[in-house]
Structure 1
Amino acid sequence: MWRRGIRTVVLGVALVVLAGCGSETVESDDTADEATRAGTATAWTRAAPIRINGVRTADGGRSLVVDAEVPDGARDCVRGLRGELHTVEHGTVYVMVTFETRSLDRNAGCTGTQRVEATVKLREPLGSRRVMVNSGAVFTPVGAAPPALRQCGENGCDPTPPRCTSSSYRQAVDATDIPRHTSWEERGCDDTWLVLDLSTRMGPVCGDVGDGCSTSAISQRWFYRAEPSGWRPVTMNGDAGCAGIHKLLPELPERLCATLPRLDRG
């Protein structure tokens, strides 16, 4: 009886120890699950840069280095940055720059930005071909200071030189900080200077005459100087003749301002 009692006690202790081990094992699994959930709470998403700041050549023109702006914060916000050659056709090299980020999660804290560089390997030297990054920004080596490429603007990579033509006047108007749908009247033009009277309709859109709707026009006279990229707005003045404008632009030829009427501002 005494030995049977000992065996009973020992068996009971063993069961308690096993039960304790099983309890510890379950607790360890829960901790691992929590760690896994914490690690995957902020999902990584593939994205494109916020902005492309510049492109330059490297390795004798066989590589492109893309200067890009990406998210940044207290924690790691970017990983897996890569630049890839997509295709080459019609004189343009198409490249893609992507990365993984968790900036789409508000809790990630990726509220700032940082500049990074992605390298793209080319099959052959760039030469005179253009570069388009992510189907958006376009850069060209023509007219640039190597190794940097020149970013193309709204008027393309090869803007039309300033001329005394209607299309050139449109470029001048587009380069002026005025509302869209502004009309113009040429007041004088030569190889260096351009004078335009610009008129912008203000007020509601009117229908037939007599419907009680009235509009007004705001007029401005702008003076432009010719530059390689097109007409650049310099200043504005609505005085008659040359006296007023010569205080601002004494180099303006008198033949372009002598007959200017006083501008009717509407």
Structure 2
Amino acid sequence: MWQRGIRTVVLGATMVILAGCGSETVDTGEEATGASTAWTLAAPLRIDGVRTSDGGRSLAVDAEVPDGAGDCVRSLRGELDTVEHGTVYVRVTYETRSLDRASGCTGTQRVEATVKLGEPLGARRVMVNSRDVYTPAGAAPPALRHCGENGCDPTPPRCTPSSYRQAINDTDIPEHTSGEERGCDDAWLVLDLSTRTGPVCGDPGDGCSSGVSQRWFYRAETSGWRPVTTNGDAGCAGVHKLLPELPERLCASLPRLDRG
């Protein structure tokens, strides 16, 4: 069986800029007046997207930053760091006082930072703040494609365990899900996916002791297996109502799915 991998990233109220750089408190000179105005250099809470502009000579980076009733962000900057091994490294920073609980900067807002590259991006990837990677490969210009947990170059669709694991990872299903291959060729994949449930799994019940099953049908695309539909009926009659082009050899011997 292939266990669905989940990567968890824990973010604080404000991510301090880049490993090795630490945090920096900016002296505003207002402390003499008694005002609480400690500004800290920080990186965005999250990067929401990257796209090219100016003929590929600039990047527009959509970022999530603190927001509130007062001034929460200033001096937003996008900078080119270096270009190495086919990757453009950029930094997005700003100053914030959201670390001060009295500042009222408890919300978030979306902002756009511009990074000047000097020359067209071309086919190179972009890494933002040593964390998020984007690529023009497989993207719809001017947007770049975010490289997810399968990397920038997903495994091609194949009838192999590693390719099945990627199919499970790319399916909108809960944690604690495993899969059993029911049929595969160069164009189609059939997987029975079983999800364990219970309080250990984050659900009511006695332990991770029960389960919910689904049968997923996937179509091969250049980026990997794409989930198309689900159907738990025996044989081909049920799935052919939804997916008539599925070859009969992949569904004729399918048993009725026990949903747990």
TM-score (norm 2): 0.74
- State the 1:261 CA deviation: 1.7
Which stretch has the larger CA shift, 82-91 or 131-140? Answer: 82-91
- Give the secondary-structure state (helix, strand or coil) at the position aligned to 1:94: strand
Distance 1:109 1:202 in 2: 39
- State the 1:180 CA deviation: 4.5
**Partner of residue 47 from structure 1, selected from 42, 58, 68:** 42
Partner residue in 1 for 2:32: 36
Letter in 1 for 2:93: T
Count of paired positions: 225
- State the 1:258 CA deviation: 1.0
Letter in 2 for 1:196: L
Letter in 2 for 1:89: E
- State the 1:85 CA deviation: 1.8
**Partner of residue 149 from structure 2, selected from 151, 154, 158:** 154
- Give the secondary-structure state (helix, strand or coil) at the position aligned to 1:98: strand
Q: Structure 1's 112 and 179: CA in aligned 2 closer, same or farther, altered over 3 A?
A: closer
Partner residue in 1 for 2:248: 254
Partner residue in 2 for 1:87: 82
Aligned partners of 1:130 and 1:139 also within 8 Å? yes
Q: Which has the higher helix share?
A: 1
Letter in 2 for 1:226: A
- State the 1:106 CA deviation: 2.6
Aligned partners of 1:204 and 1:215 also within 8 Å? no
- State the 1:257 CA deviation: 1.0
Partner residue in 1 for 2:226: 232
Residues 1-266 of structure 1: pairs in structure 2 closer than 5 A? 36-39=32-35, 41-180=36-175, 182-200=177-195, 218-265=212-259
- State the 1:53 CA deviation: 1.8
- Summarize deviations over 1:209-241 as a string: whole Å, max 9, x none: xxxx99666543222222332212233322211
Distance 1:217 1:118 in 2: 46
Q: Structure 1's 108 and 85: CA in aligned 2 closer, same or farther, altered over 3 A?
A: same
- Give the secondary-structure state (helix, strand or coil) at the position aligned to 1:60: helix
- Give the secondary-structure state (helix, strand or coil) at the position aligned to 2:163: helix
- State the 1:91 CA deviation: 1.1
- Summarize deviations over 1:11-54 as a string: whole Å, max 9, x none: xxxxxxxxxxxxxxxxxxxxxxx983333x13111111122122
Q: Structure 1's 173 and 148: CA in aligned 2 closer, same or farther, altered over 3 A?
A: closer
Aligned partners of 1:83 and 1:119 also within 8 Å? yes
TM-score (norm 1): 0.73
- Give the secondary-structure state (helix, strand or coil) at the position aligned to 1:143: coil
- Give the secondary-structure state (helix, strand or coil) at the position aligned to 1:251: coil
Distance 2:104 2:196 in 1: 46
Q: Structure 1's 184 and 43: CA in aligned 2 closer, same or farther, altered over 3 A?
A: same
Q: 5+ unaligned residues in a row in structure 1: which ranges?
A: 1-33, 206-212
Calculate the aligned-residue CA RMSD, in Å.
2.9
Q: Structure 1's 44 and 253: CA in aligned 2 closer, same or farther, altered over 3 A?
A: same
